[in-house]
């Protein structure tokens, strides 16, 4: 369990911009043992990934219950040049029975082609489905990381905001505006409308060419779950579904340096994790080690961003999407389970947890939070089993064990 939690921490911690000054200028480095863990750092150079497009702009095939399109992102906007090894996946049922569009965002490094099971469930529920190819590599933690360890807690929210909208709100990396999630979605919807003008893809864009979020349902896994959570923070969406997480976590000592606890052994820490901040995946604690106690990232407790600075205003009760429109599915043996249920409850998801391993669908209409302990497949981690098709646990019929929970989230009366 230690190594699972440490791996999760690497994906979740944050660091500051190179401001040239201490995060806490009132701290005396000579007297406060926590001070050395909060030095400043330089931004990382971000690789946009494979920029070599291959194949036709649109690959189309008939699938069970509908049609599937695999679309090159650069064919929707010539200014998109990064991550061209990933195609947008679009799935349309033979009978569209819901007005809303279902938008899915995969995890770090994930391919939209690995999310067909969720797409099939969305088609079963009557939705048009898009799994968007976006700049999901490197992880948010890598964009925030610096050589001396984790840093200011605002980083994760700001990095996600820039990846989502393309607005320049942090100097930690350079996000070309057209590469961001929302511009990529707009370009794809525009291209789909141009390709089939009578189908209605333009209904998801307003007169200014912005997404009509009220007619879009969002879901996401891992990094994508955090993106879906940020969308639901800032906009009223049709509904939202978080796979594993809707927000990340950070070190408690990053939010409040006074809580930094020095340690020499895991047994001294409530989290059972004692490592140097410069080596948070250590096998054994070294010199200047601290307890790696995780708490929800700051943006998890913020309301909608009203002034466009990337930082939410108010608290979790001021999130744009009402709690009753949100659903979550999480594995009880993954590290995200430490903070996930508390985050979901603060977002207004007030139902008791439903164990999909023992409770058979249909579920109570008010059910919102679902858990499983089913073993992952193909040597995947429990966390990965909440995302990629190949990792998902299956039932006796070969279907994902969490599919009934997906379908409930997609169809439950609001």
Give one DSSP letter per residue of 345-362, joined into a string.
Answer: HHTT--SPPEETTTSPSS
**What CA–CA distance (Å, rounded) separates 73 from 198?**
22
**What CA–CA distance (Å, rounded) separates 414 from 411?**
9
Torsion angle (degrees, nearest 10) of CA 394, 400, 404, 405: 110
Residues 299, 302, 307: CA angle, nearest 5 degrees: 100
State the first-to-last Cα distance of the chain, in angstroms, to the nearest integer: 38
Residue 246's Cα: distance from chain center in Å?
6
**What CA–CA distance (Å, rounded) separates 155 from 297?**
9
Are 113 and 87 a contacting pair, CB within 8 Å?
Answer: yes
Reference 223, options 182, 167, 164; nearest CA is 164
**What CA–CA distance (Å, rounded) separates 356 from 363?**
9
Question: What is the reported pLDDT for 33?
Answer: 37
Question: What is the reported pLDDT for 44?
Answer: 54
Question: What is the reported pLDDT for 45?
Answer: 53
Question: What is the reported pLDDT for 157?
Answer: 92
Q: State the CATH architecture for 58-139+170-245+301-411.
A: 3-Layer(aba) Sandwich (3.40)
**What CA–CA distance (Å, rounded) separates 320 from 304?**
6
As given in the structure block, the two tokens for residue 97 are: 């029975």
Question: What is the reported pLDDT for 52?
Answer: 77
**What CA–CA distance (Å, rounded) separates 166 from 257?**
31
Torsion angle (degrees, nearest 10) of CA 180, 235, 143, 32: 160
Mean pLDDT of successive 10-residue segments in the chain (414 residues)?
32 30 30 42 56 88 96 96 93 97 96 97 98 91 62 82 93 86 98 94 97 98 97 98 90 79 90 76 80 87 95 96 97 91 94 94 96 97 96 97 98 94
Angstrom distances, CA of residue 387 to CA of 136, 143, 278, 284, 383:
14, 22, 29, 31, 8
* Domains of the chain by residue range: 58-139+170-245+301-411
Question: What is the reported pLDDT for 270?
Answer: 83
**What CA–CA distance (Å, rounded) separates 392 from 117?**
9
DSSP structure class, residue 363: P
Q: Which pTM does this prediction carry?
A: 0.86
Residue recorded with tokens 């948010």: 140
Angstrom distances, CA of residue 80 to CA of 133, 213, 266:
11, 23, 46
Contact residues for 85 (Cβ-Cβ < 8 A; gap 6+): 49, 50, 52, 54
């Amino acid at each position: 369990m230690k190594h699972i939690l440490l791996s999760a921490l690497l994906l979740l911690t944050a660091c500051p911009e190179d401001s040239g000054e201490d995060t806490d200028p009132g701290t005396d480095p000579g007297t406060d043992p926590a001070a050395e863990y909060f030095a400043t750092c330089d931004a990382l150079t971000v690789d946009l990934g494979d920029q070599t497009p291959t194949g036709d702009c649109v690959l189309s095939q008939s699938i069970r219950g509908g049609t599937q399109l695999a679309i090159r992102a650069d064919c929707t906007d010539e200014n998109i040049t990064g991550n061209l090894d990933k195609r947008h996946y679009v799935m349309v049922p033979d009978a569209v029975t819901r007005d809303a569009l279902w938008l899915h965002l995969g995890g770090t490094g994930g391919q939209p082609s690995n999310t067909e099971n969720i797409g099939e469930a969305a088609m079963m529920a009557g939705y048009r489905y898009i799994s968007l190819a976006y700049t999901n590599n490197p992880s948010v933690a890598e964009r925030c990381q610096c050589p001396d360890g984790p840093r200011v807690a605002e980083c994760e929210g700001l990095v996600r905001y820039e990846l989502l909208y393309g607005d320049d709100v942090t100097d930690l990396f350079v996000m070309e505006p057209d590469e961001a999630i929302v511009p990529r979605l707009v370009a794809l919807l525009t291209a789909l409308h141009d390709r089939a003008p009578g189908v209605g893809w333009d209904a998801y864009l307003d007169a200014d060419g912005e997404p009509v979020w009220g007619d879009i349902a969002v879901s996401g896994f891992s990094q994508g779950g955090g993106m879906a959570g940020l969308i639901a923070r800032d906009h009223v969406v049709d509904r939202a579904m978080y796979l594993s997480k809707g927000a990340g976590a950070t070190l408690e000592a990053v939010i409040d340096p006074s809580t930094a606890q020095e340690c020499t052994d895991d047994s001294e820490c409530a989290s059972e994790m004692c490592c140097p901040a410069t080596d948070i995946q250590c096998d054994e604690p070294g010199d200047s080690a601290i307890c790696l106690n995780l708490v929800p990232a700051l943006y998890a407790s913020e309301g909608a961003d009203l002034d466009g600075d990337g930082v939410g205003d108010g608290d979790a009760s001021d999130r744009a999407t009402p709690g009753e429109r949100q659903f979550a599915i999480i594995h009880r043996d993954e590290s995200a389970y430490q903070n996930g249920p508390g985050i979901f409850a603060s977002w207004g998801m007030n139902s008791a947890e439903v164990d999909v391993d023992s409770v058979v669908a249909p579920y109570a209409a008010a059910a919102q939070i679902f858990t499983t302990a089913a073993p992952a497949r193909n040597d995947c981690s429990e966390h990965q089993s909440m995302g990629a098709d190949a990792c998902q646990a299956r039932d006796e019929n070969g279907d994902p064990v969490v599919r009934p929970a997906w379908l409930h989230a997609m169809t439950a009366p609001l």
